[in-house]
């Protein structure tokens, strides 16, 4: 990345050389990890964004599910959270804010964590999210460096939330018509995280703003391997391919595509809609899990027994010319 990018700016900041930092700025991952003692490491993350749906309670729920996800992606258990709020108190009813906060609190409760406080800033456009602190055993932290050649890749939620949200904003779909996407965005990655710990997974990340391919690239680079994905195995939200085919693709998908240019190859045939969905930024997406082939069926069965979804969508390979290889049909 060049000097004009966020990474370029971060590179110029002082490096915190501290043995307790297990995952920090020099090793970008879903969350930072700080070891407290031999048994416990803190996992810390923050995420907030502008409304993705009109219903303020639902927005609060989705933002909280999304914010908790980075702790789950590291194999942790969330303990505490702080609300982060931007809100135009002069032009929006305070009841809207109350609904956003109530939705967020409901999800934090569902996760078994607590909200300790928060901070609100006056802003023209509402924004909401949480700073979340969790814990895990220091030797059981799951990072994007943990994928190994030969592992299979499991994805726990279908793709397409960015395209579906764009279709609702474009008034092509109504919020009532996108219940599978809403249910997916409201599903905590908690069970998936517990399953990863039960099966000794070491490599995973959650799929959010960089899309499946952007987050797969982070994993491939951190693990020094090539990731191979199989287009006919990738799950899509109902209507996502149709909406992408109509061009209802968010700007973020094109930014992701631009970023991945030269780092991936497409083999065989893929539709433009499918390609767009591979770059589609996800809100509260699922986990991408790398697991040894011998254990993958056990993990998938474990998830399905708990009512979760899981698809084997590719594998981890020795490093090749490109960090990612997508096989079409």
Residues that bind Co ion in the complex, under the rule CB under 5 A: 30, 47, 70, 119, 206
The helix/strand/coil state of 105 is helix
User: In angstroms, what is the minimal distance from the CB of 49 to Co ion?
Assistant: 10
Nearer to Co ion, 111 or 173 (CB): 111
User: In angstroms, what is the minimal distance from the CB of 162 to Co ion?
Assistant: 15
User: In angstroms, what is the minimal distance from the CB of 305 to Co ion?
Assistant: 26
Nearer to Co ion, 145 or 271 (CB): 145
Residues with Cβ within 8 Å of residue 52, at least 6 apart in sequence: 59, 62, 63, 165, 185, 283
Nearest one of 314, 325, 328, 228 to 269, comparing CA atoms: 328
Nearer to Co ion, 167 or 208 (CB): 208
What are the two backbone dihedrals, phi and then psi, of residue 213, each rounded to the nearest 5 degrees?
-70, -40
DSSP state of 39: S
Nearer to Co ion, 56 or 214 (CB): 214
Strand stretches in 181-225, DSSP E: 203-206
Burial class (CB in 10 A: 0-12, 13-18, 19+), 171: exposed
Nearer to Co ion, 48 or 311 (CB): 48
User: In angstroms, what is the minimal distance from the CB of 321 to Co ion?
Assistant: 27
Nearer to Co ion, 30 or 276 (CB): 30
DSSP state of 13: S
Instruction: Give the whole-angstrom CA distance, residue 49 versus residue 63.
Output: 7
| 48, 63 contact by CB (below 8 A) | yes
Residues with Cβ within 8 Å of residue 139, at least 6 apart in sequence: none
Element (H, E) at 280: none
Name the residue number minimizing CB distance to Co ion. 30
Instruction: Give the whole-angstrom CA distance, residue 328 versus residue 232.
Output: 7
User: In angstroms, what is the minimal distance from the CB of 212 to Co ion?
Assistant: 13
**DSSP readout, 253-274?**
HHHHHHHHTTTEEEES---HHH
Nearer to Co ion, 173 or 287 (CB): 287
User: In angstroms, what is the minimal distance from the CB of 267 to Co ion?
Assistant: 28
User: In angstroms, what is the minimal distance from the CB of 235 to Co ion?
Assistant: 19
Instruction: Give the whole-angstrom CA distance, residue 1 versus residue 106.
Output: 39
Nearer to Co ion, 119 or 304 (CB): 119
User: In angstroms, what is the minimal distance from the CB of 194 to Co ion?
Assistant: 17
The helix/strand/coil state of 33 is strand
């Amino acid at each position: 990345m060049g000097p004009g990018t966020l990474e370029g700016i971060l590179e110029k900041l002082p490096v915190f050389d501290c043995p307790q930092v297990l995952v920090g700025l020099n090793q970008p991952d879903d969350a930072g990890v700080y070891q407290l003692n031999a048994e416990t490491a803190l996992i810390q993350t923050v995420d907030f964004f502008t409304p993705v749906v009109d219903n303020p309670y639902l927005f609060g729920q989705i933002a909280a599910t999304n914010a908790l996800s980075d702790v789950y992606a590291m194999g942790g258990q969330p303990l505490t959270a702080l609300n982060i709020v931007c809100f135009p108190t002069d032009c929006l009813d305070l009841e809207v804010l109350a609904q956003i906060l109530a939705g967020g609190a409901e999800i934090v409760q569902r996760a078994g964590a607590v909200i300790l406080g928060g901070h609100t800033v006056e802003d023209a456009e509402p924004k909401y999210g949480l700073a979340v602190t969790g814990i895990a055993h220091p030797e059981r932290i799951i990072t994007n460096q943990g994928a190994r050649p030969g592992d299979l890749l499991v994805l726990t939620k279908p793709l397409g939330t960015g395209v579906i949200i764009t279709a609702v904003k474009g008034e092509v779909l109504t919020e009532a018509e996108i219940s599978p996407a809403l249910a997916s965005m409201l599903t905590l990655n908690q069970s998936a995280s517990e399953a990863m710990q039960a099966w000794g997974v070491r490599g995973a990340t959650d799929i959010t703003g960089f899309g499946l391919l952007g987050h797969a690239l982070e994993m491939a680079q951190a693990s020094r391997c090539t990731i191979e994905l199989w287009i006919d195995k990738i799950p899509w939200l109902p209507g996502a391919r149709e909406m992408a085919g109509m061009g209802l693709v968010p700007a973020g998908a094109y930014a992701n595509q631009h970023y991945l240019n030269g780092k991936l190859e497409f083999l065989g045939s893929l539709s433009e809609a499918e390609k767009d969905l591979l770059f589609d930024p996800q809100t509260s997406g699922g986990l991408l899990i790398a697991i040894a082939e011998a254990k993958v069926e056990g993990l998938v069965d474990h998830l399905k027994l708990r009512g979760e979804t899981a698809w084997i969508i590719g594998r981890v390979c020795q490093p090749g010319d490109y960090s990612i290889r997508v096989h079409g049909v």
